[in-house]
Structure 1
Amino acid sequence: MAKSVKVGDKVKWKSSGGGSTGKVVKKLTSPRMIKGHKVAASKDNPEYLVETNEGKQAAHKAEALTKAR
């Protein structure tokens, strides 16, 4: 698990299709909508906007991300 990920890190995560890889685009510290889903991010509970090589975006907590090589 990646406890401290930062913008630009290459990461992997489990998804409904098995698994995905990409990079961290932004640290989210306030609530927002992504692809019609509410992301309940806050300063005390941040989430990370990740983007696959295909350009798809999702938000995940740091615990769900693993640094990739």
Structure 2
Amino acid sequence: MGISQGDEVTWNTSQGRTRGRAVEKRVERFEFEGQTFNASADEPYWIVESGTTGARAAHKEGSLDKRR
């Protein structure tokens, strides 16, 4: 069960569990907000948007849980 664009997802932050949506999947090295991420087809990253603040962040797909 993979994650698809638009899916509602949850992830851990230093403030606790956050929920939002998956915006964009990345499978190649990329830069986001001044950081470089080494994404690949085997270890993709997602740009996610917080449902609370609207802030966007990059997270490994494995760190995200799809909401049911």
Would you call these one fold, judging by a TM-score over 0.5? yes
TM-score range, shorter chain: 0.7 to 0.9
Question: TM-score normalized by structure 1?
Answer: 0.81
- Show structure 1 runs of 4+ deviating over 4 A: none
Structure with greater strand share of residues: 2
SS at match of 1:63: helix
Once the two structures are superposed, what CA deviation does each residue of 1:7-66 show, in whole Å capped at 9, x if it has no partner?
A: 010000001111211000011011111122211112232111111122211111222111
Q: What is the aligned partner in structure 1 of residue 33 from structure 2?
A: 35
Across the two proteins, how many residue pairs are aligned to each other? 67
Map 1:4-19; keep pairs closer than 5 Å: 4-19=2-17
Question: TM-score normalized by structure 2?
Answer: 0.82
How big is the alpha-carbon RMSD for the aligned residues of Structure 1 and Structure 2? Answer: 1.5
Structure 1 unmatched runs, 5+: none
Does residue 1:65 correspond to 2:64, yes or no? yes
The farther-off stretch of 27-36 and 7-16 is: 27-36
Structure of higher RCO (CA pairs closer than 8 Å, 6+ residues apart): 1
8 A contact 2:44–2:60 mirrored in 1 = yes
Residue 68 of structure 1: how far off its partner (Å): 2.0
Structure 2 unmatched runs, 5+: none
SS at match of 1:4: coil
The percentage of counterpart residues that share the same residue type is 36
Distance 2:55 2:24 in 1: 14
